Amino acid sequence: MQTLQQRYIEQLKKGVLNTLNRDVPADVIDPPSLEVLLQPAWFEHFWSGDALTMCSPTHLDNTRFCIEDCLARGVAGDLIECGVWRGGMSIFMRGVLAAHGVTDRTVWVADSFQGLPPPPTNSRDEVMYNFPQVVDVERFRVDQAKVEASFARYGLLDDQVKFLPGWFGETLPHAPIERLAVLRLDGDYYTSTMETLESLYPKLSPGGYLIIDDWGLGDLCGEQEAVLDYRREHHITDEIIPVDYHTAYWRKGG
């Protein structure tokens, strides 16, 4: 039988996915491949609908695993998502801490809250992020007040949640973060990913987790390329573990 803690986390997951009071086909909510994701039903549910995250249940489960493993092994540090859109993944992170009664870790919520900037010309990111559908949603612009209101609706807006509004290149180098246990990258672009890694990877505790949301998109966006360049420059050889066709993560060694 599921404990109350497990039930809470499962219901929170359905809440941020907007599947609590409706049936959504499994391949829409958790597409097994990019081809399946690129169906109109996915965009209708996630972009036109009210879901608070476009991550899948599998991605939420992976983040939960990383947090709970750090709690179980006593890996020091806070949690951060860099690139939050409507905030559902960050709300889920705060909820996992709440479910475990953790009061000494912060969830950092880093975003421009103005969407992605126009993609740099001649970059990998130029094609995908100039698609009319992406431009129509203002490259994922969501105001901070809206994200805060969503946290509050779940009863999870408190002093363990700290917002870092602004461009990563300006906010992250000076962010008052001491140590991280989980660093989740979801800024899509090469530049956004590299800026995040340069500022925050050195703060990730040994044994902590780096999650790369768009790893599997390969050439479609610059996230994977930035991660590979950063690994090469810093001689990182920790095994990259695929979560599914889309996301990957590794546990920081050393």
Ligand X SMILES: C[S@@+](CC[C@H](N)C(=O)[O-])C[C@H]1O[C@@H](n2cnc3c(N)ncnc32)[C@H](O)[C@@H]1O
Choosing from 115, 148, 198, 244, the residue that interacts with ligand X (CB under 6 A) is: 115
Choosing from 108, 151, 189, 249, the residue that interacts with ligand X (CB under 6 A) is: 189
* Closer Cβ to ligand X, 108 or 189, answer by number: 189
* Closer Cβ to ligand X, 181 or 212, answer by number: 212
- The Cα-based distances of 180 to 7, 45, 176, 241 in angstroms read 27, 32, 11, 19
Residue 85 interacting with ligand X (CB under 6 A): yes
CB of 229 to ligand X, least distance (A): 16
- The Cα-based distances of 181 to 40, 68, 178, 210, 252 in angstroms read 36, 10, 10, 9, 10
CB of 112 to ligand X, least distance (A): 4
Q: What share of the chain is helix, strand, coil (3-state, %, to 5)?
A: 45, 15, 40
Of 204, 164, 191, the residue nearest 79 (C-alpha): 204
What are the phi and psi torsion angles at 141 (to 5°)? Answer: -70, 125
Residue facing ligand X at closest CB distance: 83
Residue 15 interacting with ligand X (CB under 6 A): no
Residue 89 interacting with ligand X (CB under 6 A): yes
* Closer Cβ to ligand X, 144 or 160, answer by number: 144
- Count of residues of this chain found to bind ligand X when the rule CB under 6 A is applied: 21
Contact map string, positions 151 to 180, toward ligand X, x by CB under 6 A: ----------------xx------------
* Closer Cβ to ligand X, 106 or 191, answer by number: 191
Residue 108 interacting with ligand X (CB under 6 A): no
Span near ligand X by CB under 6 A; candidates 64-72, 109-117, 122-130, 218-226 = 109-117
Residue 62 interacting with ligand X (CB under 6 A): no
Q: Which residues contact 133 (CB under 8 A, 6 or more apart)?
A: 43, 47
Bridge partners of residue 253, in order along the sequence:
none
Choosing from 54, 180, 181, 248, the residue that interacts with ligand X (CB under 6 A) is: 54
DSSP code, position 63: H
Neighbour-count burial for 107-134, b at 16+ CB within 10 Å, e otherwise: bbbbbbbbbbeebeeeebbeebbeeeeb
CB of 32 to ligand X, least distance (A): 19
Q: Which residues contact 163 (CB under 8 A, 6 or more apart)?
A: 108, 109, 110, 144, 147, 148
CB of 16 to ligand X, least distance (A): 8
Contact by Cβ (8 Å): 44, 74 = no
Q: Which residues bind ligand X (CB under 6 A)?
A: 53-55, 81, 83-85, 88-89, 111-112, 115-116, 140, 167-168, 186-189, 192
